[in-house]
Chain A
Amino acid sequence: MENNLALQMRAIRKTFPGVVALNNVDFDLRRGEVHILLGENGAGKSTLMKILSGAYQKDSGKILLNNREIEIKNPRHSCELGIGIIYQELNLVPHLSAAENIFLGREPAAFGLIDKKRMNQSAQRLLAGLGMDFDPQRLVRELSIAEQQMVEIAKAISLDARILIMDEPTSALTEREIKELFARIRLLKSDGVSIIYISHRMEELFEIGDRVTVLRDGNWVGTHNIAEVTKPELIRMMVNRELTQQFPKIKAPRGREVLRVEGLSRNDALTRISFSLYEGEILGISGLLGSGRTELARAIFGLDKIDAGSIQVKGRLQKITSPRQAINLGFGFLTEDRKTQGLVLPLSVQENICLPSVERFSRFGVVSNSEETEAAGRFLKDLRIKATGLGQRVIYLSGGNQQKVVLSKWLCSNGNILIFDEPTRGIDVGSKAEIYQLMNQLTAAGTAILMISSDLPEILGMSDRILVMHQGRINGEFSAADATQEQILHCALGEAA
């Protein structure tokens, strides 16, 4: 009966000091299936996968591989057992070639020298098997994220992986690349490879998944065939409460114009960009990766020099040359990458929230701790940031709470023109909804929001108006109420609106 099962995990339990991370969780994997693992951050998905990859040891429970009980001792052992893992942050050596990365540590050798020719040929065969045709001698740092991912997958396959764990594989990919990735996954499936797929993006699950297992707070909630569940059901299983609407947009009255950009250009990146932004409005900016969306945000925020064009803030012409100046004008910039640009990870919640406003809390260079605590404490409460206190280091917070800290930072500096760059990337469903609620509250209070996002449902669900960028230009403008995903995608691909 169980011949079809590649892997069974039975009653897995894992505790950390003071926390039960996994409470008797069951999980099984059929040959050649894509099994989605779903759950909010902290639900226990990563812990379960770390046990499977040998990074953690389980406290109790059984693991059966091909119906034989095994103990996974360490990551190397897991690898030998045919379990491959593709992390969200790819683990490649950037200045080595694709082939060198694939065979790192086990290069084919002849007379003690690396047989480059054989290595490159093998790599090419592996990549071809995945439908990729780029030269394996290219350096990894020159490859796109999608291509790098393929190198990782090729590496796992060359190690005879029969089980592949993919952690948020699409988070940095464009729509087209996602489509291609899914094609490769189907190819792998037909070869009998089983895939454990972790993602927050609901749409994808239905497209690629066969079965889905939901975890919540370290407990197994349920396993279903994808065809037999609906999105709202899954969300309810994950958060144990009905999110009535995935995008709880509340339209705020449109106020006066707060930002007017005219003819903004910057070398090749931006060409004659013009638009206006109003109080209480969310202006969505869509477009493919590299279409100039982030460059536009950076130029407005004073990070990059502009070659031509003008920026008017609240009716007055401004030359913004530094972030300080932008902040003083009321701008705030929630960057695309929280960890490398938004937060100072080793510092506390309070220190991060107050960073742009230290000036205001200081007299003669001395920072008033009480004023800071008061201000930061207010945001901790208002935004319901889950932390042990203001003194907790932000590195220990979950993605959603980290994003709330970044938002607090700009609210604390009295930001009222906020630029959100991919505001919900890598954030679980519950926190996503909270971020959207906060955006509603902000617009209701008259804040203007410029929202850059690759997530089409998000752009359509939360914006009032949508600008679509293509190759550094604005290629079209839509009213969110009557635009469709297809229209926007076409526009983003360069077709006239």
Chain B
Amino acid sequence: MTLKAYVALHGRQFGTLFGLIVLCAVMWILTPHFLTVSNLLNVAEQTAIIAIIAAGMTFVIITAGIDLSVGSVLAFSGVVLASLLQKGVPLVPALAIGIGVGFFTGVLNGLLITIGRLPPFIATLGMMSVARGAALLYTGGRPISGFSDSFRYLATGKPLGIPMPVLAMLAIFFMAYFLLTKTKLGRYTYAIGGNEEATILSGVNVRLYKTLIYGICGGLAGLAATILTARLNSAQPIAGMNYELDAIAATVIGGTSLMGGEGHVFGTLIGALIIGVLRNGLTLLNISSFAQQIIIGLVIIVAVLLDMALKKSRR
């Protein structure tokens, strides 16, 4: 493939990357605090949680689905993990169960959608409330706090000077990239979103793969819960509210179409970084949280407008 053809095919990602670079340049001009190694790592660390959730969201949105429950699933996974750790369950099994809770909640979403034939919006809207309620009920509404240093290392550790959440984020995105582009699962993800009926007719067990994809999304919310809990040294049943919206925003800014069949996971990473850089930069500039919301909203709108303009010009 020639470079030109490659750019034509993946132009959208370059557009997003270009946007991120422009944004960074603007921030660099406006504040001397932005372009420092420690601040950039800081941005990456702050982005990690939303980015990891958004990686799972990308899978789901490529299948033309949506998962509104990730924020609540994060809270539920987090409190289950926290309670296990406090009861003295060793780290590895506790982590496995915590992430497993996320995975199984996701699988449940998948089954409601595939076997129950519910629209993804409705199934996960319901699950959003169920998982939140489960987290509140499980904890009596109280946060669970105070963990061992070895657990907290998952958020506070800095091997080679890079914060653990950033390492986890990078690892997840490389894995997601591999899954989406090199494996059967990835191929079917795109195919289901592009044309579910044609995929069924091609002999693909769509129910199985869709369920698995929602499971992956839930599992990644569980992983994000682990990092969030370690970072705050506390698991809150009300954690992760509105995270689903941030994750959807990151995915959409990254060029994944809500119509399904199209999208790239690294676009999502860039999308999450754009939101992270904006929040960071606007705080450095001391712009009020009210104005920040306006700017972030405008960026989402502009990103999608740009996407549509680019697609049109390629026709």
The residues in A between 347 and 394 inclusive whose CB is less than 8 angstroms from any CB of B are 347, 351, 355-356, 358-359, 362, 365-367, 369, 389, 391
Query: Are B201 and A333 in contact, with the CB atoms below 8 A?
Result: yes
Bound Cα distance A358, B182 (Å) = 11
Query: Are B195 and A344 in contact, with the CB atoms below 8 A?
Result: yes
User: Residue B157 at the A interface, CB < 8 A?
Assistant: no
- The one of B190, B201, B204 in contact with A351, judged by C-beta atoms closer than 8 angstroms, is B190
Q: How large is the interface on B (under 10, 10 to 19, 20 to 34, 35 or more residues)?
A: 20 to 34
Query: Are A344 and B184 in contact, with the CB atoms below 8 A?
Result: no
User: Residue A457 at the B interface, CB < 8 A?
Assistant: no
> Which single residue of chain A is at the shortest CB-CB distance from B257?
A346
CB distance from A421 to the nearest CB of B (A): 11
Query: Are B203 and A340 in contact, with the CB atoms below 8 A?
Result: no
CB distance from B9 to the nearest CB of A (A): 7
In the complex, what residues of B have CB within 8 A of residue A327's CB?
202-203
User: Residue A190 at the B interface, CB < 8 A?
Assistant: no
User: Residue A465 at the B interface, CB < 8 A?
Assistant: no
Bound Cα distance A409, B203 (Å) = 12
- The one of B1, B182, B185, B190 in contact with A344, judged by C-beta atoms closer than 8 angstroms, is B190
Bound Cα distance A303, B198 (Å) = 12
Quick check: which of A138-146, A211-219, A318-326, A446-454 contacts chain B, the rest being far away? A318-326
In the complex, what residues of B have CB within 8 A of residue A362's CB?
183-184
Assuming the contacts A355-B191, A358-B184, asked whether A344 and B203 have C-beta atoms less than 8 A apart, the reply is: no
- The one of A346, A356, A359, A369 in contact with B262, judged by C-beta atoms closer than 8 angstroms, is A346
The residues in A between 128 and 146 inclusive whose CB is less than 8 angstroms from any CB of B are none
The residues in B between 159 and 215 inclusive whose CB is less than 8 angstroms from any CB of A are 182-185, 187-188, 190-191, 193-195, 197-205
In the complex, what residues of B have CB within 8 A of residue A343's CB?
195, 198
User: Residue A480 at the B interface, CB < 8 A?
Assistant: no
User: Residue B240 at the A interface, CB < 8 A?
Assistant: no
- The one of A328, A333, A351, A413 in contact with B191, judged by C-beta atoms closer than 8 angstroms, is A351
User: Residue A178 at the B interface, CB < 8 A?
Assistant: no
Bound Cα distance A365, B188 (Å) = 11
Bound Cα distance A366, B197 (Å) = 24
In the complex, what residues of A have CB within 8 A of residue B182's CB?
366-367, 369
Assuming the contacts A324-B203, A341-B201, A347-B190, asked whether A359 and B184 have C-beta atoms less than 8 A apart, the reply is: yes
> Which single residue of chain A is at the shortest CB-CB distance from B206?
A323
- The one of B5, B194, B199, B203 in contact with A322, judged by C-beta atoms closer than 8 angstroms, is B203
Query: Are A335 and B194 in contact, with the CB atoms below 8 A?
Result: no
CB distance from A368 to the nearest CB of B (A): 9
Query: Are A345 and B9 in contact, with the CB atoms below 8 A?
Result: no
User: Residue B271 at the A interface, CB < 8 A?
Assistant: no
User: Residue B237 at the A interface, CB < 8 A?
Assistant: no
Bound Cα distance A323, B184 (Å) = 18
User: Residue B261 at the A interface, CB < 8 A?
Assistant: yes
Assuming the contacts A365-B184, A367-B182, asked whether A346 and B261 have C-beta atoms less than 8 A apart, the reply is: yes
Assuming the contacts A342-B198, A362-B183, A362-B184, asked whether A347 and B261 have C-beta atoms less than 8 A apart, the reply is: yes
- The one of A346, A355, A367, A389 in contact with B204, judged by C-beta atoms closer than 8 angstroms, is A355
- Fill in one digit per residue for B229-250: 1 if any A CB lies within 8 Å of its CB, else 0: 0000000000000000000000
Query: Are A355 and B184 in contact, with the CB atoms below 8 A?
Result: no
Bound Cα distance A342, B194 (Å) = 11
Query: Are B191 and A347 in contact, with the CB atoms below 8 A?
Result: yes
Bound Cα distance A355, B182 (Å) = 14
Bound Cα distance A327, B182 (Å) = 23
Bound Cα distance A303, B5 (Å) = 39
Q: How large is the interface on A (under 10, 10 to 19, 20 to 34, 35 or more residues)?
A: 20 to 34
Query: Are B198 and A344 in contact, with the CB atoms below 8 A?
Result: yes
- The one of A341, A356, A365, A366 in contact with B203, judged by C-beta atoms closer than 8 angstroms, is A356
Query: Are A355 and B9 in contact, with the CB atoms below 8 A?
Result: no
Query: Are A323 and B200 in contact, with the CB atoms below 8 A?
Result: yes
Query: Are A340 and B197 in contact, with the CB atoms below 8 A?
Result: yes
In the complex, what residues of A have CB within 8 A of residue B261's CB?
344-347
CB distance from A492 to the nearest CB of B (A): 26
Query: Are A326 and B203 in contact, with the CB atoms below 8 A?
Result: yes
In the complex, what residues of B have CB within 8 A of residue A413's CB?
203
Query: Are B183 and A344 in contact, with the CB atoms below 8 A?
Result: no
CB distance from A369 to the nearest CB of B (A): 8
> Which single residue of chain A is at the shortest CB-CB distance from B6?
A391
In the complex, what residues of B have CB within 8 A of residue A326's CB?
203
CB distance from A357 to the nearest CB of B (A): 9
Assuming the contacts A355-B187, A367-B184, A391-B1, asked whether A344 and B194 have C-beta atoms less than 8 A apart, the reply is: yes
The residues in A between 212 and 235 inclusive whose CB is less than 8 angstroms from any CB of B are none
In the complex, what residues of A have CB within 8 A of residue B195's CB?
340-341, 343-345
CB distance from B216 to the nearest CB of A (A): 13
Query: Are B202 and A347 in contact, with the CB atoms below 8 A?
Result: no
CB distance from B63 to the nearest CB of A (A): 12
In the complex, what residues of B have CB within 8 A of residue A351's CB?
187, 190-191
Bound Cα distance A409, B202 (Å) = 9
Bound Cα distance A391, B4 (Å) = 13
In the complex, what residues of A have CB within 8 A of residue B5's CB?
389, 391
In the complex, what residues of B have CB within 8 A of residue A335's CB?
198, 201
Query: Are A391 and B9 in contact, with the CB atoms below 8 A?
Result: yes
CB distance from A343 to the nearest CB of B (A): 6
In the complex, what residues of A have CB within 8 A of residue B191's CB?
344, 347, 351, 355
Assuming the contacts A343-B195, A346-B261, A391-B9, asked whether A323 and B190 have C-beta atoms less than 8 A apart, the reply is: no
Most B CB contacts (10 A, CB to CB) among A358, A365, A389 go to: A358
Query: Are B202 and A356 in contact, with the CB atoms below 8 A?
Result: yes
Bound Cα distance A53, B203 (Å) = 42
Bound Cα distance A355, B184 (Å) = 9
> Which single residue of chain B is at the shortest CB-CB distance from A325?
B203
CB distance from B187 to the nearest CB of A (A): 6
CB distance from A364 to the nearest CB of B (A): 9
Query: Are B197 and A367 in contact, with the CB atoms below 8 A?
Result: no
Bound Cα distance A143, B204 (Å) = 34
In the complex, what residues of B have CB within 8 A of residue A409's CB?
202
Query: Are B187 and A367 in contact, with the CB atoms below 8 A?
Result: yes
Bound Cα distance A356, B182 (Å) = 16
CB distance from B72 to the nearest CB of A (A): 30
Query: Are B188 and A347 in contact, with the CB atoms below 8 A?
Result: no
The residues in B between 13 and 64 inclusive whose CB is less than 8 angstroms from any CB of A are none
Bound Cα distance A387, B100 (Å) = 45
In the complex, what residues of B have CB within 8 A of residue A344's CB?
190-191, 194-195, 198-199, 261
> Which single residue of chain B is at the shortest CB-CB distance from A393?
B9
- The one of B185, B190, B203 in contact with A346, judged by C-beta atoms closer than 8 angstroms, is B190
Query: Are B198 and A341 in contact, with the CB atoms below 8 A?
Result: yes
In the complex, what residues of B have CB within 8 A of residue A340's CB?
195, 197-198
Bound Cα distance A324, B209 (Å) = 14
Bound Cα distance A369, B199 (Å) = 19
- Fill in one digit per residue for B273-299: 1 if any A CB lies within 8 Å of its CB, else 0: 000000000000000000000000000
Sorted nearest first, the 10 A-B pairs with minimum C-beta distance are A344-B194, A324-B203, A346-B261, A327-B203, A356-B202, A355-B202, A344-B195, A323-B203, A346-B194, A344-B191
Interchain Cβ contacts under 8 Å between A and B, 23 examples: A323-B200, A324-B205, A327-B203, A335-B201, A341-B197, A341-B198, A341-B201, A343-B195, A343-B198, A344-B198, A344-B261, A345-B194, A345-B261, A346-B190, A346-B193, A351-B190, A355-B187, A355-B199, A356-B202, A367-B182, A389-B5, A391-B5, A409-B202
